[in-house]
Chain A
Amino acid sequence: DQQVKQNSPSLSVQEGRISILNCDYTNSMFDYFLWYKKYPAEGPTFLISISSIKDKNEDGRFTVFLNKSAKHLSLHIVPSQPGDSAVYFCAASAQESGGSNYKLTFGKGTLLTVNP
């Protein structure tokens, strides 16, 4: 049973346009969400995160939106650049006993291709 779902395996956009990557989750205990970016043969690299007490977090060209009622989050990249081409993973965590969020549950990823 997948608790974090990225239903689009791939997405292709033109350079300069907006990329929107989506993620749905089922576990209502998740209270912290992250996006990671992964290039081939490298480990995932942290991009941006959001706590469940917020509905938006912005960092430069990257904005994450959280809709708790719909259990949905999205990552917006504006403007998209060819160097953004990578696999993007959505991840979520819940407070474990002891109060620490440490166990990330990942989606399967979305391959973003930004065409020049």
Chain B
Amino acid sequence: GAGVSQSPRYKVAKRGQDVALRCDPISGHVSLFWYQQALGQGPEFLTYFQNEAQLDKSGLPSDRFFAERPEGSVSTLKIQRTQQEDSAVYLCASRQGRWSPLHFGNGTRLTVT
């Protein structure tokens, strides 16, 4: 594919449900990132992978958030026991090299009711 692909585009979850958000990075991109964008805010860093290794997860808001990239390609962001404050757009990005810009997907808009 030409760009970063995220699915689903929209997800509505009842409070307390678990959700899984998928990201397909650009082929060959070693680095993968997850960001969270709340309404009216800029994206905020959640976590960073280089290949399958999660090198930084300092931005994950709580232990209910978990990300994985087991084969160094597709990544999944899982949120357990969703709460209303988790409502946001979750953006995935990938990049080719250290000084390359991040290429973002279109995001998954999560609404927790």
Contacts and interface: CB of A to CB of B under 8 A. Distances in A.
B4 interface: yes
Given A44-B43, A108-B41, A102 B48 contact: yes
A89 B43 contact: yes
A49 B33 CA distance: 19
A96 B42 CA distance: 21
Chain A binding surface SS class: loop
Q: How large is the interface on B (under 10, 10 to 19, 20 to 34, 35 or more residues)?
A: 20 to 34
Interface residues of A, number: 25
A96 B50 CA distance: 14
Contacts of A108: 40-42
B107 to A, nearest CB: 6
Contacts of A44: 43, 91, 104
B18 interface: no
Nearest to A89: B42
A108 B101 CA distance: 19
Interface of B: 4, 31, 33, 35, 40-45, 48, 55-56, 59, 91, 93, 98-99, 101-107
Given A46-B102, A103-B56, 4 more contacts: A4-B42, A42-B106, A43-B4, A102-B48
Top 10 nearest A-B pairs (CB, nearest first) are: A106-B42, A43-B104, A46-B101, A43-B106, A44-B104, A103-B45, A106-B43, A108-B42, A43-B105, A42-B106
